[in-house]
């Protein structure tokens, strides 16, 4: 069910604002398990679904929403445990890729998102979106791809030590949950141009305690690297299916200073989607929309207008 009254978690995080360029009134959806998921639903027109990754939240997409909402409907969830959504412990929620996909499916059904979607993805939002598309690929009519993945770690790409530390070692888990190393670190290492302090605070605001950082750790721990890992089959299947989207309009925006989703991942997308419109930036990092919003937002809008549904 949807509630127009802010949930406790929405109110708690928003009280830390105001957040720059985030003048939105989030909506909420209560899942059958009782957890409240926050999401933006802004504007009218062709639907653009924007999926964030880890350790960001819907705030990442704010400038694209502002640049599109006068002519497009923008649906932007905060994944459970992230942003303005509820942050349950492990007893209250299974922090897995399958859970994320199921959450998205229920939310889109609730929101009446329709059958003609533009899928915009960043970071682990790519696997959530393309994982959802394993059953709903026909509903995706256009793609906007920003520093993300929809396939396993390329064989030529070593696992970054920062992720390996968080995924496999107690010391990394302590750094992420005890010292907010992942969310705080991303605001500094994920950009080529320093974020303003108030923007940094907005990114970090939802993750202000050990309890509220559970998802930033569980996301890392769920990264599949080999057969048998619980998300491996989804990631492998999504990778095999990626070339099926080659006949659909695709826009790729990429920060080349990303030490995780680097040129190996960019190559994976350009090979699978050879007709994609590619905008790659030597002076942009993982949070490419932070470094290049002034260029990317109008470019994405122009791409959508050139490829109407």
203 with 56: CB under 8 angstroms? Answer: yes
Share of the chain above pLDDT 90, in %: 85
Q: What is the mean pLDDT of residues 54-68?
A: 98
Answer for the pair 174, 206: CB distance below 8 angstroms, yes or no: no
What pLDDT does residue 169 have? 47
Tell me the three-class secondary structure of the chain, residue by residue: CECCCCCHHHHHHHCCCCCCCCCCCCEEEECCCCCEEEEEEECCCEEEEEECCCCCCHHHHHHHHHHHCCCEEEEEECCCCCCCCCCCCCCCCCCCHHHHHHHHHHHHHHHCCCCCEEEEEEECHHHHHHHHHHHHHHHEEEEEEEEECCCCCCCCCCCCHHHHHHHHCHHHHHHHHHHCHHHHHHHHHCCCCCCCHHHHHHHHCCCCCCHHHHHHHHHHHCCCCCECECCHHHHHHHHHHHHHHCCCCEEEEEECCCCCCCHHHHHHHHHHCCCCEEEEECCCCCCHHHHHHHHHHHHHHHHHHHCCC
Residue 2 has pLDDT above 50, yes or no: no
Which tokens belong to 289? 């929309």
| Model pLDDT for residues 96-140, shown as the tens digit of each residue | 999 999 999 999 999 999 999 999 999 999 999 999 999 999 999
pLDDT at 70 over 50: yes
pLDDT of residue 137: 97
Cα separation values, 177 from 37, 52, 172, 218, 220, Å: 21, 20, 9, 10, 12
Residue 302, number of CB atoms within 10 A of its CB: 12
Say if residue 308's pLDDT is above 60: yes
C-alpha span between 54 and 82 (Å, rounded): 8
Q: Which two tokens stand for residue 127?
A: 């696997």
Nearest-5° angle of CA 294, CA 296, CA 301?
110
Q: Identify whether the C-beta of residue 134 lies closer than 8 Å to the C-beta of residue 234.
A: yes
Q: Name the residue ranges covered by the structural domains of the chain.
A: 8-306
Mean pLDDT of 247-259: 97
Is-contact 258 286, C-beta < 8 A?
A: yes
**pLDDT tens profile 152-200:** 988 887 766 565 665 654 666 877 888 688 899 999 999 999 999 999 9
Dihedral angle of Cα 294, 197, 179, 126, to the nearest 10 degrees: -10
Please identify, in words, the CATH class of the domain defined by 8-306.
alpha beta
**Which of these ranges, 160-169, 206-215, 217-226, 248-257, has the smallest mean pLDDT?**
160-169
Q: What angle do helix axes 161-168 and 170-179 make, rounded to 10 degrees?
A: 100
* Res 293: pLDDT: 98
pLDDT over threshold 70, residue 1: no
């Amino acid at each position: 069910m949807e509630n127009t009254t802010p949930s406790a978690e929405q109110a708690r995080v928003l009280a830390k604002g105001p957040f720059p360029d985030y003048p939105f009134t989030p909506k909420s959806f209560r899942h059958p398990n009782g957890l409240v998921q926050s999401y933006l639903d802004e504007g009218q027109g062709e639907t653009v679904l924007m999926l964030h990754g880890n350790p960001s939240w819907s705030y990442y997409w704010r400038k694209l929403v502002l640049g599109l909402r006068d002519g497009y409907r923008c649906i932007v969830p905060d994944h459970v445990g992230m942003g303005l959504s509820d942050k349950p412990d492990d007893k209250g929620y299974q922090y897995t890729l399958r859970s994320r996909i199921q959450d998205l499916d229920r939310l889109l059904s609730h929101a009446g998102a329709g059958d003609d979607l533009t899928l915009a993805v960043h970071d682990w939002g790519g696997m959530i979106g393309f994982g959802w598309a394993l059953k709903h690929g026909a509903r995706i009519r256009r793609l906007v791809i920003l520093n993300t993945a929809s396939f396993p770690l390329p064989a030529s790409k070593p696992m970054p030590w920062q992720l390996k530390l968080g995924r496999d070692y107690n010391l990394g888990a302590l750094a992420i949950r005890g010292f907010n190393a992942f969310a705080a670190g991303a605001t500094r290492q994920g950009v080529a141009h320093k974020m303003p302090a108030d923007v940094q605070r907005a990114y970090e605001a939802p993750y202000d305690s050990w309890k509220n950082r559970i998802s930033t750790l569980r996301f890392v721990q769920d990264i599949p690297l080999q057969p048998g890992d619980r998300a491996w089959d989804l990631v492998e299947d999504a990778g095999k299916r990626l070339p099926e989207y080659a006949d659909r309009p695709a826009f790729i925006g990429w920060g080349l200073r990303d030490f995780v989703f680097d040129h190996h991942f960019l190559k994976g997308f350009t090979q699978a989607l050879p007709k994609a419109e590619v905008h790659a930036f030597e002076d942009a990092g993982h949070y490419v929309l932070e470094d290049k919003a002034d260029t990317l937002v109008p470019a994405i809008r122009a791409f959508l207008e050139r490829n109407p549904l």
